[in-house]
């Protein structure tokens, strides 16, 4: 089994041995389901309901430091389908990726962890959610794509505005 340092070495675009070991590098080392919960609290009655469900989809992104060069990025998705008669299903997914990063300034690393890594992980998490809903006996739900970069920029602008920092206009370089 490869060590995390070996994986990062393979991600490094600079040729080995030429002293260019200072180039920034980032990539996904592995990805996995950390936690998955599927609830069908009103079965078997829920399979007879004919009205269209009201869907509530919640997302959350977190990052936890594993070591100096590896972070765990967690994409949490909760889907709740409710009908007039009650809740048909609840799916809670914690989908994670180990992200290797080296020689990145803090702003670059933060953007990679909270915008780029979730963008890479999302299609796989979306499939897990869809399969879990289908396996619970309901029609699969295909979540719409998410603009994680746009959400990240919006969140950073909100944070800067709350801190009283000047906010760069949309589309300009900060």
pLDDT band of residue 162 (cuts 50, 70, 90) is confident
Span 148-173, average pLDDT: 75
171 within some domain: no
174 within some domain: no
**Domain tally, the chain:** 1
136 within some domain: yes
Span 52-70, average pLDDT: 94
53 within some domain: yes
Sign of CA dihedral 159, 165, 166, 168: negative
In this model, does residue 171 exceed pLDDT 50?
no
3 within some domain: no
6 within some domain: no
36 within some domain: yes
154 within some domain: yes
54 is in which domain, residue-wise? 24-161
d(CA 94, CA 107): 25
Residue pair 75/118 in contact by the 8 Å Cβ criterion: yes
Quote the pLDDT of residue 32. 98
Span 106-115, average pLDDT: 93
Quote the pLDDT of residue 123. 96
- Mark residue 103 as left, alpha or beta (left: phi above 0; alpha: psi -120 to 50; beta: remaining): left
Count of alpha carbons within 13 Å of 123, Cβ hemisphere only? 3
CATH code of the domain containing 48: 3.10.420.10
Quote the pLDDT of residue 22. 84
């Amino acid at each position: 089994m490869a060590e995390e340092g070996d994986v990062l070495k393979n991600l490094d675009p600079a040729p080995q041995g030429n002293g260019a070991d200072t180039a920034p590098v980032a990539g996904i080392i592995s990805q996995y389901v950390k936690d998955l919960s599927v609830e069908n609290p009103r079965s078997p009655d829920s399979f007879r309901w004919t009205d269209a469900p009201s869907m509530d989809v919640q997302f959350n992104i977190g990052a936890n430091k594993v070591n100096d060069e590896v972070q765990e990025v967690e994409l949490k998705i909760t889907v709740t389908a409710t009908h007039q008669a009650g809740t048909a299903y609840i799916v809670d997914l914690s989908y994670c990726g180990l992200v290797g990063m080296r020689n990145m300034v803090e702003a670059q690393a933060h953007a990679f962890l909270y915008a780029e890594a979730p963008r890479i992980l999302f299609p796989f998490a979306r499939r897990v959610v869809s399969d879990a809903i289908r396996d619970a006996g309901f029609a699969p739900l295909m979540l719409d794509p998410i603009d994680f970069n746009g959400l990240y920029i919006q969140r950073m602008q909100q944070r800067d505005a709350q801190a009283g920092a000047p906010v760069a206009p949309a589309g300009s370089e900060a």
